[in-house]
Amino acid sequence: MNAPSQPAPFTVAVVDDDSTATTLLSRILSRAGHTVVVFTSGEELLQQPSLSEVDIVCLDQGLPGIDGLETLRRLQSIRPSLPVIVFSASADAIRDEALAAGAVACVDKTKGWSGVGEAIENARGRT
């Protein structure tokens, strides 16, 4: 009997100015086999020439400079098929706007990071 095959790892961009959050999320994603690239602002992400190598973006709403939703809108104009997962302490308040702007999910980061992992797994079929 063949063992189930492991899904191919992704390159995940994590965008958050909170170093504790990026460290924790990076560890979780790395343990799941993904390559993680951390950015501390939306501007930093959008200016990266290697953005074409990113498979999924995990994006905090509360960023310095342009916020997560504006970063999402700009990403959609550059790479409309790039799955973006927005996370926020106020996910319920911004969920409809985030999904309308093109996010594949909006996750409440105050309830743990399992929602981000689930959203990444769900996004696999969209890439």
pLDDT tens figures, 11-46:
999 999 999 989 998 998 899 889 999 999 999 999
Specify the DSSP element, H or E, that contains 19: helix 19-31
- Digit-coded pLDDT (tens) for 69-126: 999 999 999 999 999 999 888 878 889 999 999 999 988 887 766 677 778 777 766 5
Q: What is the C-alpha to C-alpha distance for residues 26 and 64, in angstroms, rounded to an integer?
A: 20
As a residue count, the chain comes to 127
Residue 108: inside a domain, yes or no?
Answer: yes
Q: Does residue 3 lie in a domain region?
A: no
Q: Is residue 118 in a domain?
A: yes
Among 67, 77, 59, 57, smallest CA distance to 21 is for: 59
For residue 105, what are the domain limits? 11-126
Burial class (CB in 10 A: 0-12, 13-18, 19+), 18: middle
Query: How many structural domains is the chain composed of?
Result: 1
